[in-house]
């Protein structure tokens, strides 16, 4: 039997749950970076719990950075902006992506665009501002009607977090941490893996790292969008189908008071 220790939000009581398996679906750790699209709760707690329990992790050096996060806030500015005809500028007003990706230009892959932006900044061609060094995403040439009909969410985000109106001026952007590629080594069936003394993979049957917690050994290190789509299938949908019978008996808590709370929560 395995389980977890938790705190009841209503009472502050520490409770202990027994279970036939433990699912880790705690998200990534993007908040370790200054600029990130991740929620404030994504601080690597799941990975920390796994390590303290003796479960290994892998590929923790691999992260995907989205090329266009709002400078100073990290809020994601979708590739759709560049798909509609927006483009990136350095402090000299140059469309610098033509140097790094002559064919794809601003529509190059995330890793290419993010790397190009950082080269521009490190070589002194970034823009200065209260948010620190950044580049500009120009959209105003598309016109108000196009922006309001095709990118209304970006208009709202830019006005709220960057305090700029994309209809009139460019958006300050910088590469921002998006995906944690590493995590708990995992089988395609959702079970965690460790290594024995012979260097062979050994399944940890009661630990199920799902969502952003697992690290599949055949995942593209750049978190290509198509890769992420099937990873979500294999890390959520397939394991649910496999283990649904295991969950038919609800986990029992140690304390009677917590059993009452669980019944109230389930209702």
- Write down the domain spans for the chain: 64-178
Q: What pLDDT sits at residue 182?
A: 85
Residue pair 176/135 in contact (Cβ under 8 Å)? The answer is no
Q: Which of 95, 99, 110, 244 is catalytic?
A: 110
- pTM of full prediction above 0.85: no
Place of tokens 């620190």: 132
156 Cβ partners below 8 Å, 6+ apart? none
DSSP letter, residue 106: G
Q: What pLDDT sits at residue 153?
A: 96
- pLDDT at residue 253 is higher than 60: no
Among 183, 151, 168, 158, CA closest to 62: 183
CATH of the structural domain 64-178, one choice from 3.40.30.10, 3.90.700.10, 1.50.10.150, 3.40.50.970:
3.90.700.10
Q: What pLDDT sits at residue 252?
A: 52
pLDDT above 90 coverage of the chain, percent: 48
Which tens digits make up the pLDDT trace of 99-138? Answer: 999 999 999 999 999 999 999 999 999 999 998 999 999 9
Where in 8-121 does DSSP place strands (E)? Answer: 14-19, 22-24, 63-70, 87-89
In this structure, of 15-19, 141-145, 254-258, the range with the lowest mean pLDDT score is 254-258
- Tokens representing 106 are 């601003």
Active site residue 95: no
Q: Count of CB atoms within 10 A of residue 92's CB?
A: 9
- Note the helical H segments in 62-172: 80-83, 97-100, 110-122, 144-150, 152-157
């Amino acid at each position: 039997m395995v389980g977890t220790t938790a705190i009841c939000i209503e009472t502050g009581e520490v409770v202990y749950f027994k279970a036939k398996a433990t699912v880790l679906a705690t998200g990534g750790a993007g908040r370790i970076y200054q600029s990130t699209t991740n929620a404030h709760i994504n601080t690597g707690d799941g990975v920390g719990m796994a390590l303290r329990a003796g479960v290994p992790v892998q590929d923790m050096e691999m992260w995907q950075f989205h090329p266009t996060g709002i400078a100073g806030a990290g809020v994601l500015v979708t590739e759709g902006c560049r798909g509609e005809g927006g483009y990136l500028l350095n402090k000299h007003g140059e469309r610098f992506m033509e140097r790094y990706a002559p064919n794809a230009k601003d529509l190059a892959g995330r890793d290419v665009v993010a790397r190009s932006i950082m080269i521009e900044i490190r070589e002194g061609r970034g823009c200065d501002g209260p948010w620190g060094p950044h580049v500009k995403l120009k959209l105003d040439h598309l016109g108000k009607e196009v922006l309001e009909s095709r990118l209304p969410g970006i208009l709202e985000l830019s006005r709220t977090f960057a305090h700029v109106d994309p209809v009139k001026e460019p958006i300050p952007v910088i590469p921002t941490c998006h995906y944690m590629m590493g995590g708990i080594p995992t089988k395609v069936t959702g079970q965690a893996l460790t290594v024995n003394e012979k260097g062979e993979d050994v399944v940890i049957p009661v630990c199920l790292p799902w969502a952003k917690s697992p690290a599949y050994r055949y995942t593209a290190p750049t978190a290509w969008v198509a890769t992420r789509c099937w990873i979500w299938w294999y890390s959520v949908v397939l394991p649910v189908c496999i283990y649904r019978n295991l969950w038919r008996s609800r986990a029992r808590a140690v304390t009677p008071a917590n059993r009452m709370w669980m019944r109230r929560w389930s209702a």
